[in-house]
Chain A
Amino acid sequence: MPTKTLSGTPVEVNDEGFFVDAQQWTKEMAPEIATEIGVPTPLTDRHWTVIDLMRSEYFEKGTGPTVRKISKLSDVTTKELFVLFPKGPAKLAAMVAGIPKPKGCI
Chain B
Amino acid sequence: MSVAEKKPRVIEPDSLIGKRIRKMDAPEKASGKTRYIHDINLSGQLHGKILRSGRIHALIKSIDTSAARALPGVHVVITAADVPDQRPIGVARDHFPLKVGRVRSERDEIAAVAAETEEIAEAALKLIKVVYEDLPVISDPEEAIKPGAALIHPEPHGADGSHEHLKQGTTIAHKGKPDNVAMTFDYAHGDVVQGEAESDVVVEDTFRLHYVTHCCMGVSGMIAEFDASGNLLMYSNTQVPFLHKREFAEYLNMDPARIRIIQPPIGGGFGSKLDIYPFEVICLYLARAAKRPVKMLFTREEEFLASPTRQPVLLTLRSGCKKDGTLTFRQVHTLHDNGAYTSWGATTPFVMMQTFSSLYRVPHCDYHTAAVYTNNPYAGSFRGYGNLQATFAIEQQMDMLAEKIGMDPLAFRLKNAQESGETTGQGMSFKSCGFQDCLNTAAQRSDYSRKFKENAANRNKPGNIKHGIGMASMLHVGGGAKIYPSDGCGTILKMDDFANVTLITGASEIGQGSETVLSQLVCEELGLPISAITVVNNDTAITPWDVGVHASRTTFIAGNSAIGAAKKAKTKILAVAAKKYECAESDLDLRGGFVIKAASGEVVVELSKLLRNLHFQDKAELVMTTFYYEPPSVHQDKGFKGDVSAAYAWGTQVVEVEIDTDTGLVKMTKVTGAHDVGRVLNRLGIEGQIEGGVVMGQGYALTEELMIENGVMKNPNFRDYKLVTAPEIPEMDIAFIESMDGEGPQGAKGVGEAPAICVAAATANAIANATGIRMFELPFTPEKVYRALHGQTPKLYWKPWRAPE
Co-complex (A, B): no
A interface with B by C-beta (< 8 Å): none
